[in-house]
Each structure stands twice: as structure tokens, then as C-alpha cells.
Structure 1
């Protein structure tokens, strides 16, 4: 019994390809670091958590900055030798919580939703993914904090014209320096999020890192703990942040740009640990 003859479809030749093959008209090229940056920028600007955290950050920086300036002006208080830029410290200190939250969510939220599997499928290079997330987040946080601190400083200078005029160096530290420090603190949060892989746990750890040393130091009254108390006061996040405004919670400790180098070193170590963790652990 013979099999009926079945006519096979005639193979179509794609333009530019041999008979029986298909050549895509879309140009195929290797993915680059620029593609990873574009992908991470699309993700970070399209989620609601970014809009909420950055919105609250702007409200805290502008709202508290304007409020402190109005209170000082209405009470006829004298700033003395202190720079008027110091009034922006309170908004920046509270705003760090927003930057910490966004830094953690930039990577930890993908582990919570399972989106990290899609991300690593699209770009198997885990180091490239971590670097792209770090660059996009750092630049976003730096630009917003620097712009807001500059605007707040200008508003406070207009509200208190009788206060001492800040020098160029003071302006640079209170705007660019604060922006770099807060963005670096957020980058440290991103590294912790990559290590912990849990949003709530990572945010709790970072908030504890910001507040706990100062709280513990305030309750160390015994002379035997004086050395520990001074260390915690000098190197706590609020104390280091206030150094950019020419003030410090303690009478010693980091001054000028020193806090920026300290937080940069700590963040570099944490990012190194996050890189090793991404390459040695499964998703």
C-alpha cells in the first residue's frame, strides 16, 4: 500500500538569505551597558513607589526648609555665626529615609515579585545589572537632593537677609556635598537590598543604621562607656550629615568632606559583597 503523494510547501526565500532560511529584517547586535541603563531607567521611572518616595522627599526638603525659615524669621531669632544653610539640615535628615527606601526597593522589590528572573534572563550578566541599577539610582537621587537643597538654601537666604552670608565653600558642601552623601547612603541601601533580598528587612536595617547609634549614645551615661559613646556620636549618620553644614553633634569627629569619603568606602565594600552574592546565589 503506497502512501499518497503530499505536495510539500515551496520554501520561501527571505530577502538576502539562502533558499529555505529566514533572515530577520531587525538588526541583531550584542546588548551593551547602555541598554542595561535604559532598561533600569525605564523600570525606576515607571513604578509608583518611585513617584511616592521622591514626592515625599521633595515635600520634606521644601516643606521643612520653608517652615524652619519662617519660624526663625517670625521669632526674630538670631543665627549668630551659623550659616543660614544649617536650617536645611532637618529636612535632609528626614529625607534620607525616603532615599533609603527607594534604594532598597530598586532591587529588593524585584526579588519579592519574581521580576528578577526576567531581568536576569534578558541580561545574564549580573554585574552589569547591579552596575546599571547603581548608576541610575545614584544619579537620580543626587540630582533631586542637590536641586532641592539649592532651592531651599536660596529660599532661606531670602527669608533671612540679616543672617551671615554663606561662602562658596559652604554652599558647595550644603548642596553638592549633601547630595553626594545622601545618594551614597541610598546606594548603600541598594547594596543591602541585594544582600538581604527582602524589602522590609533591608529598610529596617538601614533605618536602624541611621538612628540606632545616636539613640544608644544618648543613653550611655557611665564613665566606662564614654569612649563608645563618643565614637557613636562622632560617626553616627546625623553627625556626619551635619558636618556638611559646619556643625557637629559632638565636639570632634569627621569634618568638612571627610564624611563623604567614609560613606563611599563603606558603600564600596557593601557593593562588592552584593556583587559576590549575586554571582554565587541563585535567584
Structure 2
């Protein structure tokens, strides 16, 4: 007599483990811009380059700004006719090089180390990544630069004296100067996203900062006078001087008041648009 085979255990019924039947104890939600902002804030405050560049920025603004104020107060030159706020330019110009460097490193350094792959894996939306980097960087630089410029301007006015500046002059020399330098840093960030090389992007931005003035100094021919005046008028250092003065620094038709900020805002907007297009078009 043949022994019947032992009955096998019944397997799971069809559909017992259908998709969606398991509920994770970890809450799952869609990522948004706030998550990207938190990530970029963690990165920018964790790297040593931020501490060094912004520390040198504050050091240059304070030491040069107050040093010039002490020399002017000791000599007494121009203290009766010129407001002391214009002395802030001498510390702001070299400090802007630190902002340019940090703006480039904020994104270009990730291409150098390969960290950009992790960033885009965690947040595939390249527009969101670029926006988060730009917002965090801009707010950080704007806050630090404006506060430092306000403190330096107050001490400069106390040391030098001179005519009391208007409220509009105070705002332009503090918030306006901080806004201009922060936009210059955003422009550097956009160039870093396009070039994807830290040294190359920093070199380009240093050239944008200084080359127009240097080139204009060597234009002696009469036929180049129009170009020379334009370079002097629209060079970044000249635009920064205009923020501290009530009249254009070079010629009656040059930018003055808040016009330098508006010009740089337009240029930076175009550069960020090009950076976004570059991120979309190219692989990491």
C-alpha cells in the first residue's frame, strides 16, 4: 500500500502582501523648499571656509574703515564739508573679495569634492537646490554685512564728525552697501554654478571687479574716451562709491542713489537664470 505524501504547509494567499499593506512607523512626507534650506544652512555653517571668509570680511571692514577714520580725524582734512559715511567704502571694497570667494565656494566646491552628487540625490530638483543655496547665502551675507557696516559707520561719524548725513544716506551706506555686496556674492554663486571650478570662477569674478578700472586707466587715445568714461562710470568700485554719495562719482549722467543696486540686481538675475539653465542642461 502506497503511503500518501505528507500535506505541505499552505503558502500565503494571493494578495496577502499586496503593495501598500505595510505602514512604516516613520512618517513619510514630500520634501519641500524648507528641507533644502535647512540642508544648505547646515552645510554653509559647518564648513571652515564660511568662518574664514566672513571673519576676514568683518576684520577688513572694521580695521580699514576705522583706520581710515582715525587718519582723517587726525589730519582734519575734509571733516567740515564731507560726511564721514563715505569712508566706509575703503573697507567694503576689499571685503567684497571675501564675499566673492564664499559665493563661488558655496556651489563650486561641491563639484570639486563630488558632494554635488549627494546633494542632487537627496534633492533631485535642481531649481530647488539653486534657490536654497542662493537664499541661505544671500540672507547670511546681507545680515552680517549690514550690521558691520552700521557699526563702522556709527564709529566713523563719531570720530570724524562733519555735516550730519540724511536718513537716506544712512540707509544707503549701511543696508544699501550690504545689499550690493550680497548681490555681488549671488552673482559669484551663479558664475560658480556655470563654471563649476572654484579657482576659475573666483578669477573671473576678480576680473569683473577690478579689470574695467584697470583697463580704463590705460585708454589714452581720444577715440577711446567714451569707452573709458563708461568703464569708470559702471565699474563695480564706482558703483559702490555711488552708494555713499548723493551725486554720481563720475559725471553727471552716471548712476547714483539706489541705481547701482538696481543695475546689479538685473545682472544677477540674468546670471542666476543662466546658472539654472546650466544645471538643467548638464549632468553632474
The corresponding residue for 2:221 is 222
TM-score by length of 2: 0.91
- For residues 241 and 87 of structure 2, what CA distance do their matches in structure 1 show? 11
Shift of 1:5: 11
1:76 Cα deviation after fit: 2.5
TM-score by structure 1 length? Answer: 0.91
Q: CA 1:5–1:124 in structure 2 vs 1: closer, same or farther (change >3 Å)?
A: farther
How far residue 226 of structure 1 moved from its aligned partner, in angstroms, is 0.2
Paired with 2:80 and 2:168, the residues of 1 have a C-alpha distance of 19
TM-superposed CA distance for 1:251, in Å, is 2.1
1:87 aligns with 2:93: no
| Structure-1 residue corresponding to 2:260 | 259
For 1:137 and 1:49, the matched residues in 2 are separated by 13
Query: Relative to 1, partners in 2 of residues 1:249 and 1:78: Cα closer, same or farther, differing over 3 Å?
Result: closer
Q: CA RMSD in A?
A: 2.3
| Residue 6 to residue 240, structure 1, CA distance change in 2 (3 Å) | farther
Aligned equivalents of 2:88, 2:250: Cα separation in 1: 19
**How far off its partner does 1:158 sit?**
1.4
| Contact 1:233/1:249 (8 A) holds in 2 | no
Q: Are the aligned partners of 1:83 and 1:245 in contact in 2 as well (CA < 8 Å)?
A: no
Q: Residue in 2 aligned with 1:165? A: 164
Q: Which has the larger radius of gyration?
A: 2
Q: Matches of residues 32-111 of structure 1 in structure 2 within 5 Å?
A: 32-111=32-111
SS in 1 for 2:204: helix
CA deviation after TM superposition for structure 1 residue 24, in Å: 2.2
Equivalent residues in 2 for 1:102-251, closer than 5 Å: 102-161=102-161, 163-246=162-245, 248-251=248-251
8 Å contact from structure 2 (residues 213, 232) kept in 1: yes
Q: Post-superposition shift, 1:96?
A: 0.6
Q: How many aligned positions are there?
A: 274
* Distance change in 2, residues 1:224/1:43 (3 Å): same
Structure 1 unaligned residues grouped into runs of 5+: 11-16
Query: Partners of 1:62 and 1:193 in 2: how far apart?
Result: 28
